[in-house]
Amino acid sequence: MTDLTTEQNESDELDAENALFVQTATATSSVDGRLTLTGITPSTLYFADRPERATGHLSTQDFVNLWAVGDNSFESDPPNAVLAFLKSPEDAPQDAVVVLRSPVLEDGALRYSIEVLEGTVPETTGPVTLFIDPFGRPLSPVSVCGVRRRGRRRGRRRAMRRF
């Protein structure tokens, strides 16, 4: 079996499970639409909700290698993600919604090109977690961004009912 076939099979399995991905790092920097996660963990967590409730890890290098694999690849349909971060240990957590493109992993740092959809990505942060939507489903109900969108919509409805 070739590496491409193995990557395609892994991509198909993660796509079928509607797996969401989580990456953590010790810090970030952001300049000119480029987000760099420094001190990135060597593995990327994935999980899926019902009915499978699958969980697991793949190496962050494998995650980057899978970026362009498959019909619903992240290269053809870039994922939305929520970047949750601390500016400093004393601050409350903050977040921003971004679109991720063109990952490059080297020397313990993972770089993405980003487009900010909501919030602000600061120039530097402390510890960070990146929640990444499933393959090919950037605003599905199971996506991180879809859940945030649904929560905002429900909040607006509740606020309107009060008037």
pLDDT digits (tens, 9 = 90+) for 128-137: 999 999 866 5
Q: What is the pLDDT of residues 14-47, one digit of tens each?
A: 444 588 999 999 999 999 999 999 999 999 999 9
- On the question of pLDDT at 61 being above 90, the answer is yes
Whether the CB-CB separation of 112 and 103 falls below 8 Å is answered with yes
Whether the CB-CB separation of 27 and 125 falls below 8 Å is answered with yes
pTM, two decimals, is: 0.74
Query: What does residue 13 show for φ and ψ, rounded to 5 degrees?
Result: -65, -45
Residue in this structure with the two tokens 């679109």, named with its chain if needed: 99
Q: How confident is the model at residue 6 (pLDDT cuts 50, 70, 90)?
A: low
- On the question of pLDDT at 73 being above 70, the answer is yes
Ranges of each domain in the chain: 3-157
